[in-house]
Amino acid sequence: MTANVAMRATVRGGVQGVGFRDATVRRARELGVMGWVRNGEDGSVLVHAEGAQPALDALAAFLHDGPPHARVDDVSTDSVKVEGHEQFAIRGVSAGVFVVQEHAATAHHYDLRLEVDGVMRSWAVPKGPSLDPAAKRLAVEVADHDCEHNAFEGPLGDGGVIVWDRGTYEQGGRVPWPEALQRGHAVFVLHGEKLRGGFALQRTRPGAKPQWLLIKRRDEQAQPGSDVVAQQPRSVASGRTLGDVLEE
């Protein structure tokens, strides 16, 4: 069996807005190559590819030519470590919306909801999310919610709810979604008003109410030692705190 190798490529020129990413995905899948492609902030296209060396050579040749409307000025490639991807996908594109609602109920908690296949997959996080990579937060999986619930804020039963954070997110990791959630390890990137950067959900206990850990990844958005739920308690929708809602 031929061992897999990996390369990282940067393609420069007129390569954004011309279908370069979609064409790269199609060619990579034809070749049986795994990894990702994404647009760089400087107008380049970035590619991580892993597979058999002949397949990588064929993909590199494609990158030098590009799709019909692209203008490739330069392609730089480096050999890198194999990461073990199980798909080839476009990175940097929103997978849907997310919301975090602070909820006073029988027990105070924060509900993390990620849009997956048209519904909001949901986890109750007792201590709330954190931007500190050392803070591994318990997250108990709960029933899916409709997307219409994302904007709800106000009194609810004997408690109340505020929209603590919201935005869009990217699915990440080596395994495609929703399979990653089924396996119990899902990586994603949040683009919220308070929560930004990479996060991971790691299932630690299966059952009727599976338990997970919500972990901030170590990236430029990480804030070691911080406590974002205490530092930023107000709703991103109304500016109210949960206490304000409970007093209404």
Q: Give the start-to-end residue ranges of the domains of the chain.
A: 5-90, 96-246
Give residue for tokens 């995905």: 25
pLDDT tens-digit map of 10-55: 999 999 999 999 999 999 999 999 999 999 989 999 999 999 999 9
Q: How large is the average pLDDT for residues 159-188?
A: 94
39 catalytic? Reply is yes
Report the share of the chain in percent with pLDDT over 90. 88
For residues 22 and 46, give the distance between their C-alpha atoms in angstroms, rounded to a whole number.
Answer: 13
pLDDT tens-digit map of 8-17: 999 999 999 9
Q: How large is the average pLDDT for residues 167-183?
A: 94
Q: Which long-range contacts (CB under 8 A, 24 or more apart) does 188-191 make?
A: 188/95, 188/114, 190/98, 191/94, 191/167
Q: How confident is the model at residue 181, as a pLDDT? A: 96
218 catalytic? Reply is no
pLDDT tens-digit map of 127-168: 999 999 999 999 999 999 999 999 999 888 888 999 999 999
Q: How confident is the model at residue 126, as a pLDDT? A: 97
- Asked whether 47 and 8 are in contact (CB, 8 A), the reply is yes
DSSP per residue over the chain, as a string?
-PPPEEEEEEEEEE-SSSSHHHHHHHHHHHHT-EEEEEE-TTS-EEEEEEE-HHHHHHHHHHHHH-STT-EEEEEEEEEE-----S-EEE-SS--EEEEEEEEESSS-EEEEEEEETTEEEEEEETT---S-TT--EEEEEEEEE-GGGGG--EEETTEEEEEEEEEEEEE-SSS-TTHHHHHTEEEEEEEESS-EEEEEEEEEE-SSS-EEEEEE-SSTT--TT--HHHH--S-TTTS--HHHHHT-
pLDDT over 70 (residue 2): no
Q: How confident is the model at residue 152, as a pLDDT? A: 92
Give residue for tokens 């919301």: 99
Banded pLDDT at 61 (limits 50, 70, 90): very high
Q: Active-site residue among 29, 39, 113, 196?
A: 39
Q: How confident is the model at residue 105, as a pLDDT? A: 86
pLDDT over 80 (residue 3): no
pTM attached to this predicted model: 0.86
Average pLDDT, the chain: 95
Q: How confident is the model at residue 46, as a pLDDT? A: 97
Banded pLDDT at 239 (limits 50, 70, 90): very high
Q: How confident is the model at residue 202, as a pLDDT? A: 98
Q: Active-site residue among 21, 166, 196, 240?
A: 21
Q: How confident is the model at residue 1, as a pLDDT? A: 54
Q: How confident is the model at residue 248, as a pLDDT? A: 75
Q: How confident is the model at residue 56, as a pLDDT? A: 97
Banded pLDDT at 228 (limits 50, 70, 90): very high
For residues 68 and 82, give the distance between their C-alpha atoms in angstroms, rounded to a whole number.
Answer: 30
CATH T-level topology, domain 5-90: Alpha-Beta Plaits (3.30.70)
C-alpha distances (whole Å) from 123 to each of 1, 191, 238, 244, 248 are 41, 18, 23, 24, 27
